[in-house]
Chain A
């Protein structure tokens, strides 16, 4: 008996033998234990440890097809930032990544590193083909945004589609043949478009078609078959558990190596394959989807001579079957000449022809709605006009005009800001064009969208285009102030993607139909766009006038959805003007108008904004939380999306932060961060906002090290998105300086403050309030470093600039006076300090009133000086008055009382009334206990309490224990609290020695 050779045994294991050959092998195995052992060995795969044990011969000769090392989250690849690993396949790895230029998530295919003789040429071919795919723009082909090499590896950045593969879609639930056909026609159009661009897919199968959120078929992975049609060489890769049928997707994008069921006969015979090969694969896929059985029996190659009939009765019409069978012809010449021809026949549904007549009648009825879109019909090819329509609004000449206008302002930021603006606006323009084409084609090419939906979506797109126009208009007339806001404003145009939320557009109350009303509606929309741009460019007062006019018009029209939108913008303008009560009123009305007009998304947005204006700005936590509950209910109704959820969490974080409830605040911010990183990406400005919010909490909680790294991240984002000179960057630099100060002492902050000062002087000017206040902050830093001369220079500069900017009869002037008085106090010049505080107080009482927080704060500081100057009686009266006023306003347990209570305790100590001092200090501690403040803030109170307790002589051990705790807290805070630590240590030493 002759044993089969190793080739045959391996072919048996790989199922590469025909049926009769395989049987012959099995018959032999029945008799021959040696060959059985060989088959067993071959089936088993290599020993696990083999390759690991082998020392590397030389660098660069790694396993040729080792799964390409996948860069981890946060890795920068070119301009992309890796978010996640999505899958891996024969061709390499698939990552999800953030593209800061497009500001969106993309799928990044990273081709495995190639090396060796043919690598260069193979890469060139892949690159050429990928570039061809990238030039292809078709609604049923996954868009490839970018192709290139990074770190020597070929990559493709493509649209990230969240949705099942066609295979999964078919398995999810039984589909009617019409549903199946509908989806396949779309995929077929994608293939046809590729063929028209000289591209052949070569690996069409149900795993290479995705069904996106809108239910559209999207073909992907063109040409990648070059890399993956054989199994990798060595070692045998870990094979995934195979579900029953032999074509199993490993991942949604990386497909299982070799799925021979879909390959055309000519590929089996090694002949070159043309577009008709794709047609064959398409028909295998379609046959399988319709009849739930493969057309040809399994095998290598499959048995192309015998068609397998469906096991069950089927309601698929005979004409569909005929079309599919022609595509399955063994000889390419017998198939359709092209995909287009095949699709044409697939479209000849006798039943559909009747319904299409109906559609025409419906279109006539819908013409009124289309009155605003006459050009749509004038154009010969219905959906090619996107760029032309947009060019009237944003084009190279207009960009040049805007650039010239911005540069003419002479603002130092103009150049870099303009670059950012141009980038953002061209992204916006691209998104608009894509949206326009897609919307138009859905009706006029794919015939899947009713005319009335088209009209509504087009109206939405028109309003987006108008917003762009209005912004461009404002930019053409830029001044220095506008330059500062331009980069952000260009990012904050209303998103084009809203216009593809068909469901929420359809749910809106219907627009008025008579022509006069429609004209007024357009007019109001224009005003709304203007108000929006004025808001984003910082011209709040002007914006408010515009919004008020728009509101009147919208109300006169009685069109509630628009009224809601106007109210929402109005609320923001009011908030920016610090009229928070009015903002609350506007947003409350916006919620109502939104609900009345079935504009749920807007209602949700306004309710979310209410959380923050009521709960944080107006400091009414209870009502703020009620609003949050309202917003959550709306979110449930609208269908929760991460962006809204992220906004709500951030606002809740603010509310709790405002109340000093740091752990809760932290929790909400953290949730907001996760949501925003997911939906907006880790490089978005709003993500940076949460980062700085989080950092502030961590600072207050006494973890400045955490804060520093959070600020670093935020700073990097802001610099990238807004330019390194942007005023927001200066703000973050200061916050970062503060965190560093807590970590390493005041010296560490100086350079950050100085950088920020230079930025502000350059961009905001000398007399901008932010610049002036930064002088005071720098002054205070120098005070801490006991460099009193430098401190005085800064404070006096601030005073002079305030006088220049605001005059001497102004609250800001009072604040500058106060800063100087505080310096005198620190230097021990109590008389001068008191004089300064009295001037400050006189101004503040006159301008702000007695109840104002700043007035009270000044009184408190003055009381402290009185105490230090030996006038404790007077100090006591003063601090008690302040305390009483605060209590009258906000109750006995508010955090605002803490500073007053500490001062009170110190005064009582000075007056040798330790029991009273103890009571005050204990109260302060009780207030902060549940708030989670930083250990050093608590330590200050503990030390005060310790001093009081010691003085009462009744609980000295407790006093020493408290002092110990305080000392420990100060010591572990490091350099920043050195002085305090020393003070406590000395105090203790004096008391614990016998």
Chain B
């Protein structure tokens, strides 16, 4: 998909640029943007290193594990149909906690494991269960403790206060997670009723 979007943006850009008589600006943008991309990447390095370093300590000290334990009861409430001792719950909690701490590399394999565990509980193997949909929505609503990448970019671009968006991110992310969970539960109920009526 990105292949087409990338191609489309460049080609449309060149065509519109020629029509607008702005081809010189476009050419300048090609050169400038590639340089700017590297500048921003280098600006990213500092905060990203700081954050992954701190996360290393959080993992090693058992803090991540502790939060995982605390989050378990909430998760049991959201996934009532998963049996108590089933490994799916563990994988889901660990994935969400890894996302929460911004441990992207750890989160993806845990998420895949969670999906595979949920698939074992699935009576119809080609159809998504309510639990799978709930997990996906919770995952994509992305509850995140510190949006490290955004802070790094703001810092790299000379913001006077790069972390000022932490509070607003929390509010936005929590409200979208709540809306998402309500949407999943509502749509799930609608779909179940639809099945009764043989839709």
Is chain B a partner of chain A in the same complex?
Answer: no
Interface positions of A (Cβ within 8 A of B): none
